[in-house]
Amino acid sequence: MALKNDLILRAARGEKVERTPVWLMRQAGRILPEYREVRAKMGDFKELVETPEFACEVTIQPVDILGVDAAIIFSDILVIPEAMGLPYEMIEAKGPRFEKTIKTAADVNLLKIATPDDLHYVIDAIKLTKRELKDRVPLIGFAGAPWTIFAYMVEGCGSKTFSKAKKFLYTQPLVAHQLLQKITDSTINYLRGQIAAGADMIQLFDSWAGILSPEYYNEFALKYISQICNAVTAVPLTVFAKDAHFARRKMGKLNCNTIGLDWTMDIAESREMIGHTKTLQGNMDPCLLYADFSTIKNETIKMLKAFGPDKHIANLGHGLYPDIEKDKVKCFVDTIKEFRF
């Protein structure tokens, strides 16, 4: 497998690159009319995730339409709880809902440790997508970080405070650790399965990192991320812990290649805190893409210069918002691809 464009992999490994590579979180999604068309033919979001042919189609769309330097498999972080025995529904405009949630040690004991077989539809989607991509760009696999998955399994839905999930940490710390370990073991199995199926790079999303105190984040989140980093080493790995500004020094010591930054993290300060061995990813405010084309260009170039020519993978600081115009996204991508230091 000789990739025609391996810029992102080389940047992740800290090698010199001809230009900064770029991909976007939620690049396969509602911002593309082509995605909305496929989606309209399907029943719902989960059917799309569980049907390899459709997942493959929407995964490749942004490579064709936006010209990004990587594809990321179309899936959801909540496939892991489902594979462990906790099914969910995705409710339009509301988000995920779990019928059962985890309340006690007995609930944790009932959960299984997931294997790639339990997630064959993602594995099949990765295999199919690798075939269809024809080595044009790398394919990124992903999973939720254990704390974020835990938060949904206990809370049962999205929340501003995730106070049920946090209450669990404060009242049943030992059971919390048991659940986090089961999630971690499942995630390691799952990510190894993704790599065996062809994923060229892995990203861990810790979407709810920012609601824990620094001490609790170390104890209930970073410890398990570290296990995953040490177990999944066959391809470059990125850790994106949104809003975990307080954990940057410790993240610099993880056994991974790349740390994702959100847009509230100052670039120079983050580089100083994380150190010079890691590649950094990010970190434009998604709302910049509401601005006019010249503002987008100027701010994007400012961001590229702040990161510098090496050890940077350009991205937003969070996923694309669904009402952002495709041409604005393309302007962001093109500005990065045209820029030379």
- Long-range Cβ contacts of 46-54 (<8 Å, 24+ apart): 46/76, 46/89, 46/90, 48/74, 49/74, 49/75, 49/76, 49/79, 49/121, 49/122, 50/121, 51/121, 52/121, 52/124, 52/125, 52/127, 52/128, 53/128
- Whether 30 is catalytic: yes
Containing 139, the helix (H) or strand (E) segment is strand 139-144
Q: Which is nearer to its own copies, 163 or 233 (CB)?
A: 163
Measured from the CB of residue 136, what is the shortest distance to its own copies in angstroms? 32
Q: How far is CA 253 from CA 94, 167, 227, 311, in A?
A: 37, 29, 13, 16
Q: Which is nearer to its own copies, 54 or 152 (CB)?
A: 152
Q: Report how many residues bind its own copies under the rule CB under 8 A.
A: 32
**Binding pattern for the stretch 201-230 against its own copies, x by CB under 8 A and - elsewhere:** ---------xxxxx-x--------------
Residue 250 interacting with its own copies (CB under 8 A): no
Measured from the CB of residue 4, what is the shortest distance to its own copies in angstroms? 35
Q: In this chain, which of 5, 19, 132, 321 binds its own copies, going by CB under 8 A?
A: 321
Q: In this chain, which of 107, 285, 310, 334 binds its own copies, going by CB under 8 A?
A: 285
- Whether 76 is catalytic: yes
Residues 151-170 that bind its own copies (CB under 8 A): 160-161, 163, 166-167, 169-170
Under DSSP, the state recorded for 246 is: G
Measured from the CB of residue 162, what is the shortest distance to its own copies in angstroms? 9
Q: Are 339 and 304 in contact (CB under 8 A)?
A: yes
Q: Considering 69, 76, 200, 262, which one is annotated as catalytic?
A: 76
Farthest CA pair distance, the chain: 57
- Whether 97 is catalytic: no
Encode burial over 174-189: b for 16+ CB neighbours within 10 A, e otherwise: ebbbebbbbbbbbbbb
Q: Considering 35, 39, 118, 185, which one is annotated as catalytic?
A: 39
d(CA 293, CA 259): 28
> Contact residues for its own copies (CB under 8 A)?
160-161, 163, 166-167, 169-171, 210-214, 216, 243, 245-246, 263-266, 269, 285-288, 290-292, 295, 321, 323
Active site residues: 26, 30, 39, 76, 152
